[in-house]
Structure 1
Amino acid sequence: MSAPNEVPPLVARALDLSRRRGFITATRNETGRLLAALAASRTGTLAELGTGCGVGSAWLSSGVAEDAHIVSAELDPKLAEAVQDLFSDTPSIEVTSGDWSALEKHAPFSLLFVDVRDVKRSVDLVADLMEPGGIAVLDDFTPSYTWPPIYEGRVDVVREQWLTDERFIAVEVMVAPDASVILATRV
């Protein structure tokens, strides 16, 4: 296992691809370590919506159990191909070209990393993809210390929906002083 300031080799390769492709918003290491820890507790099928350069999937892979499978969808076909090449020696990861719906055939998921803004806004869509007890991880929130949650001077209705939907037990977790995720377990 790598030290907290180091990243696993596959993550390092995905971060390198991200830099070469000009992506500056890859999954943060703090979120990645959380993904790895959660993946270690899961079996079955794990998924990432919004592959980008594969950083999130690489973090999931660094913690996943041997019998688990990771699927990921990337909208850009050329980028999906580059990430498939990146993961060619990692049989537990399957990258497909397409939007989030390309992964529906793999559902239900025991862990779902949602890094796509439009999907994050649809609790119903994500709920339908999850197995009972499955965990959805929603990325890219700025911590809010009030209720209702406020972002840029307005009620953050997306966060409010996730934290109050009866199909999930959800919590906002800070991963850094300027970043948080929502963990939502399907009941």
Structure 2
Amino acid sequence: MSAPTEVPPLVGRALDLSRRKGFITATRHETGRLLAALAASKTGTLAELGTGCGVGSAWLASGVGKGTRIVSAELDPALAEAVQDLFAECGSVEVTAGDWSALEQYAPFSLLFVDVRDVKRSVDLVADLTEPGGIAVLDDFTPSQTWPPIYEGRVDTVREQWLTDERFVAVEVMVAPDASVILATRV
């Protein structure tokens, strides 16, 4: 069975922006649907670290309930402005021009989508940003069926850290045959 091809209108607009800007690494539909489902279960403040063209935030926004807020930071000021325009009519999403640390003031987060490589490597940093019971979603893994996890012939130490850190209950979830995410719930 294949995944649905339709996407929520806001996600479609973010994908259009992504194409216009030449981004080819937008959040996959499979990951996006997972983000929307997880967002539907959370309240408070959700965050995306690494906005890009806003596709991940659009997926989050497609699942959140009333009163839930999404904050996101984009390093490129011109791109941040374009994404702010994209979300102009969506009162639950705030996009900031700056690196991921611009969002620290809004922490702790009930759901944190980490799409910044340097932050993904720091379990300590994400633990500090995530509230107890909050979920961190780490994107862009290639499935590994071995332990320890192997990527390109070497132990994937980032994945190993996440799957063994005592501050989180974590699992790797395949979202497609060639893609997986790590879901880590803060204990």
TM-score bracket relative to the smaller structure: over 0.9
1:48 match: 48
1:9 match: 9
Unaligned runs of 5+ in 1: none
1:152 match: 152
> How far, CA to CA, are the matches of 1:181 and 1:45 in structure 2?
21
> How far, CA to CA, are the matches of 2:127 and 2:89 in structure 1?
32
Unaligned runs of 5+ in 2: none
2:102 match: 102
TM-score with structure 2 setting the length: 0.98
Q: Do structure 1's residue 70 and structure 2's residue 99 form an aligned pair?
A: no
Deviation at 1:67, TM superposition (A): 1.2
Q: Do structure 1's residue 132 and structure 2's residue 132 form an aligned pair?
A: yes
> How far, CA to CA, are the matches of 2:24 and 2:130 in structure 1?
29
2:39 match: 39
Deviation at 1:152, TM superposition (A): 0.2
Deviation at 1:130, TM superposition (A): 0.6
> How far, CA to CA, are the matches of 1:106 and 1:123 in structure 2?
18
CA displacement, residues 5-58 of structure 1 (integer Å, 9 cap, x when unaligned): 100000000000000000001000000000000000000000000000000000
1:88 match: 88
1:57 match: 57
User: Once superposed, which parts of structure 1, at least 4 consecutive aligned residues long, lie more than 4 Å away?
Assistant: none
1:114 match: 114
RMSD of aligned Cα (Å): 0.7
> How far, CA to CA, are the matches of 2:26 and 2:5 in structure 1?
16
Report the identity percentage.
Answer: 87
Deviation at 1:75, TM superposition (A): 0.4
> How far, CA to CA, are the matches of 1:104 and 1:25 in structure 2?
25
